[in-house]
Amino acid sequence: MQYKMERIQKIIAANSECSRREAEKKITDGRVCINGTPATIGQSAKLGIDIITVDGAPLTAVGKRVYLMLNKPCGYLSAVKDKRGRKTVMELVKDAGEFVFPAGRLDLNSEGLLLFTNDGEFANKIMHPSFNIHKTYEVTVTGNVDEAAALMRNPLEIDGYNVTAESVNIKRKTVNGGSLTITIAEGRNRQIRKMCGLCGLKVDALKRISIGNLELGRLKNGHWRYLTDKEVLSFGEGYLKRN
């Protein structure tokens, strides 16, 4: 009987709380075995036929895949756990019915749209810059918004990378600053804050309002809801078919 084989990093990402990139690191670190032998990136296997272990623990297929969105408040880490005992976003989705993990990050003092899932492939697509998933932010700032907006519409170098905002719009002006809506595709670490800093702005508040075609809408701060099938499918047709 023939079985459909898959690459080991894809199997791990689809059946655990890590992205494909994280799965590849576990493989290169020698933490993954197939039938008792250390795995290599790109090696094929079949979960349920082959015995796959990660850190010595057998990998099992996930149950129903879950996708949800949270309106993250300030003061919560976008992490599964924190060694320093700080509050994490996991406390806000503990009644989701399945274990889920954040598909991306918002820093401690940022708020807004944060996705959760138990689908590693979906999480990888949301997080990895190569997929160019657009993310839009509302940013309240102190500084010259006209000058900064003009600068941000051109390439900026951050952490050795050239980044460019997809769009920068002035939403409101005040005596000392104002607010901007900024859309980016790369989504690198603290990119919006670093872009603003390079352009002479002090960020007073930062809120993510959309990811791809998915909008935060009227979801209350600190609340979550499941994504609809249509919303999940907006990121790719394959996700629901794997449930």
Active site (catalytic) residues: 107
**CB-based contact 221:152 (threshold 8 Å):** no
Name the phi and psi angles at 217, rounded to 5: 60, -140
**CB-based contact 227:70 (threshold 8 Å):** no
How far is residue 10's CA from residue 45's CA, in Å, rounded to a whole number?
A: 10
Q: What is the DSSP letter of 90?
A: G
Cβ burial 66-93 (10 Å sphere, 16+ → b, else e):
bbbbbbbbeebbbeeeeeeeeebbbebb
